[in-house]
A and B are shown apart, each in its own frame.
Chain A
Amino acid sequence: MRVLFKVIDRLLERVRHDLARPHEFAAERVGFFICRTAELAPEGVVVLAYDYKSVEDEDYVDDASVGAMMGPNAIRKALEFALNNKAGMFHVHMHEHAGRPRFSRVDFRESAKFVPDFRNVRPEMPHGALVASKDSLYGMCWYSAVSAPIEIDDFVVVGSPMVVVRIGP
C-alpha cells in the first residue's frame, strides 16, 4: 500500500505562514489540509491537497502539556467540513527546523485520538496527520477502516522548483 501526498508550493507556503503566527496562549498552531484523492495502481492512493482550513483562535484549549490542543469546536468544524465537501482531512502542524521532521510521541497519541473520527463522516476518503518542517514533510494516513495508520511514502511539493521527498521504497 503506497500513499503519495501532493501539494502545490503556494498552498504549502500559505500553510507555513499561517502555522507560524503566534497565538495568545497556544505554543503552536494547527490546521487542516483539504484533499481530494485518486487511486494509485496497483494498490495505493494519491492525496491531492487543494485548500487549507486554519483552526480559529478561539477554538484552542489552554493546555500546557502540549504545543496546541484543539477544542471540541475545532474538531466539529473540521468534521462538518469533511462531511459537506467530500473531503479528506489532513491535520497539520509545524516543527521549527529544517530537514525531515518526525512525529513526537504526543503527535502520535493525539492524532490517533481524533483522526479516526473523520472516517465516521467520510469513510471512503483517506484522512491523516502531517508535520511540516521548514523544508520537508512527514505524515501518517488513516486509509483503511480497520487497519493501523500507515506512513505516507512520498511527498511532492509541486512548484518551481519541485520538492520530492521519498520516504517509502
Chain B
Amino acid sequence: MNERHTRQEFLGTRSEEIFKNCRVSIIGLGGGGSHVVQQLAHIGVGNFRIFDADHVEDSNLNRLVGATESDVASKTPKTVVAAQLIKGINPRTSIVYIPKKWQGSADLLRDSDVIFGCVDSFSERQQIETAARRYMIPYIDIGMDVHDLGNQFAISGQVILSMPGELCMKCMGFLRDDLLAREAERYGAAGPRPQVIWPNGVLASLAVGIFVQLMTPWHHNHKRVWYLEYDGNSQTVMTSNRLEHLREATCTHFASLDNLGDPFWLPSKAITG
C-alpha cells in the first residue's frame, strides 16, 4: 500500500486498488460538490467525471473549496477549479470534465460506479436519479437549505443514498409532486438561495462516508438505503424517521422495465459489426 493511504489501511488490503479503479461522477461543483471532489481525491479515487456549467463568481467564495479571487477575475469554470483541486492532491487521476449542463453529456454517466448529485433543484435531482436507475448506478444526493422562520433562521439538509432496486427519493417522501410542481411554477424567479460552507462540509463528509461504506466497508452493518437529515441549528444528524415506516415497502416508481437501459436500443454496430 502506498504510504499516503496507510492511515486508511483498515478499509481493507484492496481498498487502495478499489478506489484507484472506481469511476465516480459528481454533478454540481459548488459548495457541496467541491468538498466531495476534494475528499474523494484524498481517499484515492482514480477516475472522475465532473459536471458543472457555471464559472466562479465572487458570491461563490464564501464556500467554494479550491476557488480564489483570481478565479473570479478570470471567470474560471467550476470544473477547472475542481480538476485543479483533484490534480493537486493526486496528479495520476483521470478526469473528464464537462463545463456544461450534465444533461447534454448524460451518456458519460453510464459507466460510473457511483454518482454524487450536489444540485439545488428538486427537478434536477429527479432527473439524475432517473438516469442513475436507468443504468443501475447508486446515487448519493446532498443538499442544504436555510429557512426563514420570521424571527430567526433554520439550517437543514439531507444526504440520501438511492440504490437501484431499493426505495427511491419519491418513496422516501423527499421528492414530492407538490414540491416539483411548486418549483416548476416559480421557475426562473427563485433568486439566489442562502448557502454557507459548514453545512456543505458536514453533508459532503456524510456523503463520502456512505460512498466509502459502499466501496470498502469497514464493518458489517451495510445499509442499502440512507436518508440522513441534518439539523444545522442543533448541529445534529439523524436517520429520517420516514425510513422506519417504509421498512417493508418496495419501490414502485422504477419497477417498470421501461426505466432500465436505453429505451430505443438499436445500435447499428451490433448488426453490421
- Give A contacts to B, CB under 8 Å: 2, 4, 6, 8, 10, 36-41, 43-46, 48, 50, 123-126, 143-147, 154, 156, 158-162, 164, 166
Contact = CB atoms under 8 A, between A and B. Distances in A.
Contacts of A4: 111
Interface of B: 18, 21-22, 107-108, 110-111, 113-114, 134-138, 163-165, 213-217, 222-224, 257, 260-262, 265-267, 269-273
Contacts of B267: 39, 45, 124
Given A161-B222, A164-B22, 8 more contacts: A38-B262, A39-B267, A40-B111, A41-B107, A45-B267, A160-B217, A160-B222, A162-B114
Contacts of B222: 160-161
The secondary-structure label for the interface of chain B is loop
Contacts of B137: 158
Q: A46, A154, A159, A162 — which one has the most chain B CB atoms within 10 A of its CB?
A: A162
A50 B134 CA distance: 11
Contact of A160 (B110, B214, B260): B214
Contact of B224 (A38, A143, A147, A160): A160
B266 A124 contact: yes
Nearest to B211: A162
28 contacts: A6-B135, A6-B136, A8-B136, A10-B165, A36-B257, A36-B265, A37-B261, A38-B261, A39-B262, A40-B110, A41-B107, A46-B110, A46-B111, A46-B261, A50-B257, A123-B270, A124-B267, A144-B269, A144-B270, A144-B273, A145-B270, A145-B273, A158-B136, A159-B163, A160-B163, A160-B222, A161-B217, A164-B22
Contacts of A164: 18, 21-22, 113, 215
B33 to A, nearest CB: 21
Contacts of A156: 113, 136
A143 B270 contact: yes
Given A39-B267, A48-B135, A124-B271, A8 B213 contact: no
A4 B270 CA distance: 15
Nearest to A46: B110
